[in-house]
Structure 1
Amino acid sequence: MRYGGPNFEKKGYVSIWVSKVTLDEIPEDYFEERYGEEYEDISLSQWCENFGFGYYDHDQIEDNGVAKGSDSLDRILGECSFSKSFVDHAVSMGRKRGLDSVSWVRCLYDWSYSTSVTGINDDPYMAFLGFFEYDSRAESKYEPQFQ
């Protein structure tokens, strides 16, 4: 499973997942990458296992959020790299799905995850928001606010 299964690598796209629960409700090892012989036949992390793919380039991941409670999707996602090029479209998608206030976002750059391939749109902790074109020359919409 780790290196098999669907490959969603696609330059110039960012796939975005958002929390459905507060950060303290997400298991501590949910995003933890699993290495070693005992793990070589399973997905790299529980998060990607739950969403139906075996691996990803961890250097392309960007996480952002708040430690307690929630904040607007616009604010949390707007602090992420290159967000000026995709945040308005992503926030619009979030509003349509009732996801305009979240505690955590996970961006996977150069990745175009497809629910039509996996059939998985969410798990108990995270929801897939969509994939969006991004411009690597774009700035963040907001300066990061460390909370």
Structure 2
Amino acid sequence: MEFDGMVSIWFGISESLQNLEEYVDIKYTEDGDAIDSKFGMNFEFGYYDEDNIEICFNEDPKNNIEDILSDFSYSELFIPRITELINGKSLSYGINSVIVLYDFKYDEVKREDKSKDIQMELIGAVPYE
């Protein structure tokens, strides 16, 4: 699923920043072997390069795409594409958590992940170059 120049984006709701960080955290065994994050396991792609992920948590939910994504790297390149993908500049609901995975094109094995403390939904994969 690694794909240069593509970015995959998930929006959701998390109870806290700590909860979101734990969701994407890749742990390691004493031997240095990676243990996939809950994020990678739940969306069924497993391991991803930790250097290619950015997350954001906001105390107050937002629904405007530019407000949601403006702090991410290369956002000026992919905000217009996400706006086009969702057919508008805002969501009909508020979100407080975002996961952005660069050089990765998620194949939509699973669109949503819901548990008691986090809900994530794939928005899509678009070019960021």
Please give the range of the TM-score, normalised by the shorter of the 2 chains. Answer: 0.7 to 0.9
Structure 1 length-normalised TM: 0.70
User: Highest relative contact order (Cα 8 Å, sep 6+), 1 or 2?
Assistant: 2
Tell me the percent identity: 28
Q: Distance in 2 between matches of 1:39 and 1:51?
A: 23
Secondary structure of the corresponding residue to residue 16 of structure 2? helix
Q: Distance in 1 between matches of 2:111 and 2:18?
A: 17
CA contact (8 A) 2:28 2:35 kept: no
Count of aligned positions: 122
Which residue of 104, 108, 113 corresponds with 1:123? 113
Secondary structure of the corresponding residue to residue 113 of structure 2? coil
CA-to-partner distance for each residue in 1:86-145, whole Å, 9 max, x for gaps? Answer: 102213434679566321111110000011xx2x0011110011001012xxxxxxxxxx
- Structure richer in strand, relative to its length: 2
Structure 2 length-normalised TM: 0.79
Where does structure 2 lack aligned partners over 5 or more consecutive residues?
none
1:53 is matched with: 45
Where does structure 1 lack aligned partners over 5 or more consecutive residues?
1-7, 136-147
CA contact (8 A) 1:73 1:94 kept: no
Q: 1:134 to 1:61 in 2, by over 3 A?
A: same
C-alpha RMSD of matched pairs (Å): 2.8
